[in-house]
């Protein structure tokens, strides 16, 4: 493959920098709590910006707080090649989900400096705002606005549980930039991320060549019954919203398992991740339960089927328990294929470097899934221990981080140096 | 029946006073939020104390914040006859649960004043601390310490979700009295309460003659699985604590329905009232779910059966879902019969006053269930709309409140004037 450099990134520096970022929001159990637009997020951003400046990159921030750290190319009129991920985490997240892609990108920049390489096209390292969606309920927020999938004003008006809006939180940490948050002419985007699943590890593969992302449908459900005294209200009079919600949780699990439950590559995903009970008092039959539901599949057809079946079955179960169901589709995204050319750069880089690899579909949402709707995009996965993520015990080996970063380096440089003729 | 006065309490004043108490902690939906030892509880206590003093009663507060408002009898060496209930409410409670028994007791005192009646034995109107158990997780706290069922130091060390202890909360609102909270020589206790169930209304009976209270067993359950990424983790790798908890919620409901589910007098009660999910993020498979479970039955044998069956079946369901269950019995109380003599006074009063009545077992826990373990006790129920309680829509008619209060008046006066020879 033309364009491969045979140059090596610095694995030790990469690891050291990952660990330095993990200090910010470090939890007692070895994980990270760096919730989007919080004070710890601000600290993480500031440390990242300082590192970028030390590396000679020019940092700009857009109106959604997305950060772009630019390294000029030989031809500054060319559209830049983007790469990066996100620095925010789940409430009890790990050290690598998101941070790996950003810090690996920094290592790419540093290595280029060390090696004295100037690429043809400019390069831009990105830290997207609020990929996790844990605080304001909208995942991949910054990249979604950037790609034109979400309306900026509506996103900025979203509030967290304390009533703080996205706009206010951005301003509070000083990251509401003046550059408009919208897609600009970019040549491509590459995102390195941990797999967050068990497949690479089980098959002893080093690199996941990600060909696209799953179709998804997300709901917000509200089950309404009637709160009443737990000690006096007889079975026939009960309209217990939690009993009804429990049936729906069982339905979500059953619909997931219909798609296979025997192997690690089974495609079914269906989860109730967040649930609130009201009034939530030990002596009161719950009158209302609110919860999230998400289903994912590599197949658009399966999600279409779920969109038909689930609301009907769920409503019937809830009604059979004397309650009512209000179900709102929060978002629905089709399966998103990545750019064939970019995917091939990843495939070739892994091969040239001698890493075992496997083609796969991303189970998780990623900022790259949003950018893929407007610019050529690909992703690189590296293995993580026990497939565990969104967990403080999330873990990868230094050599896994290094391998993924080396692939990122090769793919980025190849794309930036490609002939445009 | 000897001792009945044929004197009438003032129904209009009773209702007006109930409404004046309901102003404190009033909610937009017409209910009350007067959580124990909160600032609104303090306001309710202060208003109650002022009314007692206006009525010439002497108020003392014990070390658990239980309030006793005393009216002397002709023979002040006689043990007093107690009556009352509680002024604290559920987070979204109604106007009458608890407050009716206290304000009815005040109306008894006021009527005795108006009628110029001095009873033989002294009378004491009681407001027990924290009947609902909603803040510190221990229901009927004040009466439980008073009756020697709970250890005072242990109760005072219980903390709410903000880490405030019972002791600190009592001190903060100025209601940690100097009188020790322990049972003193009392002749009897009567508690008027709304039924909080649908039986009286359905059978068009005015008065419930309560012969005792249900047996109960309460658990705290913790289901532990593993939090992991919702989009990437395949069915075979999931240990979803919420799916496992949902199975247990279904089991609680099924065990309840085994005891009957066709009529309003069916004895089964089984409820999961409070539940917390962790980490409670839309994109994360829940790793831990904590919840309360309570079962009640008029039959001790049924509760004994549940105590055998439930932990085993629940653990098996949870294990089948790849998770672990830790189950702690928070408390277990046998069925508590009330005093035959006191119950008969209630029965006779209702009959003499021409009210239709029905004997019944209390489905709810009440302070009277605690006092019944140390002094002769009985309860009077009056009907509430749709059997609804622990709900802001809880509702009774003025004539229902008046009827119950009139029965309380007759029973209390008869007991206080009984011959001790």
Q: Both ends of chain B: CA-CA distance in Å? A: 18
Q: pLDDT value at position B388?
A: 83
Q: What separation, in Å, do the N-terminal and C-terminal C-alpha atoms of chain A show?
A: 18
Torsion of CA A18, A24, A30, A33, to 10 degrees: -120
Predicted pLDDT of residue B84: 98
- Does the structure show a pLDDT above 50 at A111? yes
Contacts of A200 in chain B (CB under 8 A): none
To the nearest whole angstrom, how far is the Cα of B180 from the nearest Cα of chain A? 28
Chain A residues with beta carbon closer than 8 angstroms to that of B260: 234-235
pLDDT band at A2 (very low <50, low <70, confident <90, very high): very low
Residue A379 burial (CB count, 10 A): 29
Which of A27, A230, A272 is the best mutation test for B, with the most CBs of B within 10 A? A230
Q: What is the pLDDT of residues B235-266, one digit of tens each?
A: 999 999 999 999 999 999 999 999 877 788 88
From CA B384, how far away is CA B206, in angstroms rounded? 10
Q: Are strands A215-224 and A207-213 parallel, antiparallel or unpaired?
A: unpaired
pTM value surpassing 0.95: no
Q: Percentage of chain A with pLDDT > 90?
A: 86
Classify each residue of A351-368 as buried b or exposed e, where b means 16 or more C-beta atoms within 10 Å of its C-beta.
bbbebebbebbbbbbbbb
d(CA B421, CA B417): 12
Chain A residue whose CA is closest to B366 = A231
| pLDDT over 90 (residue B46) | yes
CB contact under 8 A, B230 and A390: yes
- CATH code of A215-333, in short, is 3.30.70.360
User: By CB neighbour count within 10 A (0-12 exposed, 13-18 middle, 19+ buried), where does A77 fall?
Assistant: exposed
Overall average pLDDT of the A159-168 stretch: 96
pLDDT digits (tens, 9 = 90+) for A40-71: 999 999 999 999 999 999 999 999 999 999 99
- Cβ-in-10-Å burial (0-12, 13-18, 19+) of A220 comes to middle
pLDDT at residue A387, as a whole number:
80
d(CA A244, CA A315) in angstroms, rounded, equals 10
Q: Which 3 state secondary structure label does DSSP give B339?
A: coil
Q: What digits encode the pLDDT tens for the residues B313-332?
A: 999 999 999 999 999 998 89
Q: Which residue, among A161, A163, A120, A155, has the nearest Cα to A139 in the 3D structure?
A: A155
A290 within 8 A of A222, measured Cβ to Cβ: yes
Contacts of A204 (CB under 8 A, 6+ apart): A356
Q: Is the pLDDT of residue B152 over 60?
A: yes
Contact (Cβ atoms closer than 8 angstroms) between residue B38 and residue B65: no
Radius of gyration of chain A (CA): 23
Residue B71 clears pLDDT 60, i.e. is over it: yes
> CATH: 3.40.50.720, 2.30.130.10, 3.40.50.970, 3.30.70.360. Which one for B216-333?
3.30.70.360
Q: Would you state the pLDDT for residue B261?
A: 76
Beta-carbon count within 10 A of A322 CB:
16
Which segment of A67-71, A205-209, B46-50, B262-266 scores lowest on mean pLDDT? B262-266
pLDDT tens for each residue of A285-333: 999 999 999 999 999 999 999 999 999 999 999 999 999 999 999 889 8
Q: Check A242 against B265: CB less than 8 A apart.
A: no
Residues of B in contact with A287 (CB under 8 A): 391
Tokens 């129920």, residue? Answer: B381
Residue A70 three-state SS: strand
List, for residues B363-415, the tens digit of each pLDDT value: 888 999 999 999 999 999 999 898 888 888 899 999 999 999 999 999 999 99
CATH code reported for the domain at A11-214+335-416: 3.40.630.10
Q: Characterise A378 by phi-psi region: left (phi > 0), alpha (psi -120 to 50), beta (else).
A: beta
Q: Which of A360-374, B37-51, B164-178 has the lowest mean pLDDT?
A: A360-374
Compare CB distances from B284 to A90, A229, A263 and report the shortest one's residue.
A90
Residues whose CB is less than 8 angstroms from the CB of residue A419 and which lie 6 or more positions away in sequence, other chains included: none
Contact residues for A240 (Cβ-Cβ < 8 A; gap 6+): A225, A285, A286, A321, A322, A323, B253, B271
pLDDT for the residue numbered B374: 97
Question: Which of residues B188 and B393 earns the better pLDDT score?
Answer: B188
Residue B285's contacts (CB-CB under 8 Å, 6 or more residues apart) are: A271, A273, A390, B225, B226, B227, B228, B229, B230, B233, B238, B239, B240, B242
CB contact under 8 A, A228 and B286: no
* Residue A184 in this model has a pLDDT that exceeds 50: yes
User: What is the phi/psi pair of residue A119, to 5°?
Assistant: -80, 165
pLDDT value of position A240: 98
* B285/A273 Cβ within 8 A: yes
- Report the percent of chain A where pLDDT is more than 70: 99
| HSE toward the beta carbon, residue B209, CA cutoff 13 A | 19
Q: What phi and psi values does residue B286 have, to the nearest 5 degrees?
A: -60, 130
Numbered ranges of CATH 3.30.70.360 in chain B: 216-333
Q: Which chain A residues are Cβ-neighbours of B388 within 8 angstroms? A: 226, 228
Interface test with chain B among A88, A160, A233, by most B beta carbons within 10 Å: A233
Asked if the model's pLDDT at residue A150 lies above 90, the reply is yes
Q: Is B47 exposed, middle or buried (0-12, 13-18, 19+ CB in 10 A)?
A: middle
Q: A3 and A412 in contact (C-beta within 8 Å)?
A: no
pLDDT at B4 over 80: no
Q: Taking residues B186-201, what's their average pLDDT?
A: 94
Beta strands A188-194 and A215-224, pairing class: unpaired
Residue B2 has pLDDT above 80, yes or no: no
Chain A with chain B: Cβ pairs closer than 8 A: 277
Q: Tens of pLDDT along A237-289?
A: 999 999 999 999 999 999 999 988 778 888 889 999 999 999 998 889 999 99
The encoded tokens of residue A130 equal: 């609020």
Q: Convert the pLDDT of each residue in B91-112 to its tens digit.
A: 999 999 999 999 999 999 999 9
Judge whether B106 and B17 are in contact, CB under 8 Å.
Answer: yes
> Rounded mean pLDDT of A69-87?
97
N residues, chain B: 421
pLDDT over 90 at B197, yes or no:
no
Per-residue pLDDT tens over the stretch B285-322: 999 999 999 999 999 999 999 999 999 999 999 999 99
What is the band of B6 on the pLDDT scale with cuts at 50, 70, 90? low
Mean pLDDT over each residue of chain A, to the nearest integer: 95
Sequence ranges of chain A with CATH classification 3.40.630.10: 11-214+335-416
Mean pLDDT of A191-201: 93
Given a cut of 80, is residue B199 above it in pLDDT? yes
Q: Of B198, B229, B281, which has the smallest distance from its Cβ to A196's Cβ?
A: B229
Structure tokens at A267: 């495609």
In the predicted structure, residue A409 carries a pLDDT above the cut 80: yes
């Amino acid at each position: 493959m033309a364009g491969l450099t045979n140059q090596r990134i610095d694995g030790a520096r990469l690891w050291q920098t990952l660990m330095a970022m993990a200090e910010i929001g470090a939890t007692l159990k070895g994980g990270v709590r760096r919730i989007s637009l919080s004070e710890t997020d601000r600290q993480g951003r500031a440390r990242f910006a300082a590192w970028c400046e030390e590396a000679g990159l020019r940092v700009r921030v857009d109106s959604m707080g997305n950060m772009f750290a630019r390294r000029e190319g030989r031809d500054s009129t060319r559209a830049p090649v983007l790469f990066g991920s996100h620095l925010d985490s789940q409430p009890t997240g790990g050290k690598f989900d998101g941070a790996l892609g950003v810090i690996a990108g920094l290592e790419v920049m540093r290595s280029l400096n060390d090696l004295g390489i100037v690429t043809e096209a400019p390069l831009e390292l990105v830290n997207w705002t609020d990929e996790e969606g844990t605080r304001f309920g909208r995942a991949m927020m910054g990249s979604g606005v950037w790609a034109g999938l979400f309306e900026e004003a509506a996103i900025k008006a979203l509030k967290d549980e304390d009533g703080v809006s996205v706009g206010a939180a951005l301003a509070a940490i000083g990251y509401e930039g003046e550059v408009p948050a919208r897609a600009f002419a970019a040549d491509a985007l590459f995102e390195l991320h941990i797999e967050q699943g068990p497949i690479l590890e089980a098959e002893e593969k080093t690199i996941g060549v990600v060909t696209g992302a799953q179709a998804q449908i997300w709901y917000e459900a509200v089950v309404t019954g009637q709160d009443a005294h737990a000690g006096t209200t007889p079975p026939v009079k009960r309209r217990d919203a939690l009993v009804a919600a429990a049936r729906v949780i069982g339905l979500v699990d059953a619909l997931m398992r219909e798609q296979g439950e025997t192997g690690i590559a089974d495609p079914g995903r269906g989860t109730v991740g967040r649930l609130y009970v009201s009034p939530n008092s030990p002596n009161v039959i719950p009158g209302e339960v609110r919860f999230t539901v998400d289903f994912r599949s590599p197949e658009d057809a399966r999600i279409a089927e779920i969109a038909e079946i689930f609301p009907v079955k769920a409503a019937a179960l809830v009604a059979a328990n004397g309650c009512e169901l209000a179900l709102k589709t929060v978002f629905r995204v089709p399966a998103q294929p990545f750019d064939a050319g970019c995917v091939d750069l990843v495939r070739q880089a892994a091969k040239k470097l001698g890493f075992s690899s496997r083609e796969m579909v991303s189970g998780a949402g990623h900022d790259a899934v949003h950018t893929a709707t407007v610019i050529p995009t690909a992703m690189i996965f590296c293995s993580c221990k026990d497939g565990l993520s969104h967990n403080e015990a999330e873990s990868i080996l230094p050599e896994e981080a290094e391998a993924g970063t080396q692939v990122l380096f090769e793919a980025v440089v190849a794309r930036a140096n490609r002939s445009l003729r």
